[in-house]
Amino acid sequence: MPDTDQQHILGAFDRDMTALQAHFLQLSGLTEHALTEAALALETLDAQAADRVIAADSAIDDLEEFIQTEAASLIARRAPTASDLRRVLAVMRAAHSLERVGDYAKNVAKRTRVLPPSAPVEGHAGTIRRMSSLVVRMLDEATRALVQKDARLAESVRKRDVDIDQIYNTLFRSLFTYMMESPGNIGPSMHLHFIAKNIERAGDHATAIAEQALYLATGTLPSAPRPKAGIEAEG
């Protein structure tokens, strides 16, 4: 194949890949916003804000489906080399993780909608919002690490997963104590526990994206299991 033809093919792939990555970063922004808004809706028990998060999930689903379709088309049209194929597949896997984070944000909003006014939101909701803020930062940095093939940034995200676990474990113990005080506290506390668990799982997906970024940057996945803390480590 003449060099000019090869350069044309490579140039076309790079343009398509840049467009795909732009959509991927857009998806990351939507999921980060959804998680942030869901945590704020919880803190204020704002049912209308929770409804907006639930309604916005369809846009996340649609964009993730678009990315998967475009990625498959890119593979079929450009027949990328092994290294370029890994880039496309990493975006596809990471986009699926982001879609799952959107589902977790929607779950938080749905639980917020049914929390009674007597729910122990004060104190606990602030902790949940702090955990959510940390996950949002992890998502932002993990997606940038993947696009930029930044191993150092990806490893930094991966190491912070243990911080999310520690917050979740502390919150779990606090809610368990609250439930022991009165049977009437059990229902609302369980809702808050499941909300916290959804955000902890979102953190796991941010870590999974970071691991994809590490694979792209170094050619290997981390050999050691990611560090876990407390209840998560015991489970």
What is the percent of the chain with per-residue pLDDT over 70, rounded to a whole number? 88
The tens digit of pLDDT for each residue in 116-166 reads 776 666 678 889 999 999 999 999 999 999 999 999 999 999 999 999 999
Single-letter code of the amino acid located at 70:
E
The distance in angstroms from the start CA to the end CA of the chain is 55
pLDDT at 223: 64
The pLDDT value given to residue 234: 44
| Residue 60, both tokens | 């996340």
Q: Which of 55-59, 93-97, 169-173, 202-206 has the lowest mean pLDDT?
A: 169-173
The pLDDT confidence band at residue 176, using thresholds 50, 70 and 90, is confident
User: Does the pLDDT at position 235 exceed 50?
Assistant: no
Nearest of 213, 204, 210 to residue 104 by alpha carbon:
204
Say what the pLDDT of residue 3 is.
Answer: 52
Domain carrying residue 95? 3-234
Asked whether the predicted pLDDT for residue 168 surpasses 70, the reply is yes
- Averaged pLDDT of the chain: 89
* The pLDDT of residue 79 is above 90: no
Task: Give the C-alpha separation, 178 to 191, whole Å.
Answer: 13
Question: Which pLDDT score is estimated for 1?
Answer: 46
**Quick one: average pLDDT of 95-111?**
97
Q: With bands split at pLDDT 50, 70 and 90, how would you rate the model's confidence at 58? A: very high
The pLDDT of residue 184 is 78
Closest by CA position to 115, among listed 181, 193, 201: 193
Distance CA 104, CA 205 (A): 11
The yes-or-no verdict on residue 195 having pLDDT over 80 is yes
Any idea what the CATH number is for the domain that residue 23 is in?
1.20.58.220
Angle among Cα 144, 149, 150 to the nearest 5 degrees reads 75
Higher pLDDT, 141 or 185: 141
Domain count along the chain: 1
Single pTM value for the model: 0.88
Site of tokens 């368990």: 176
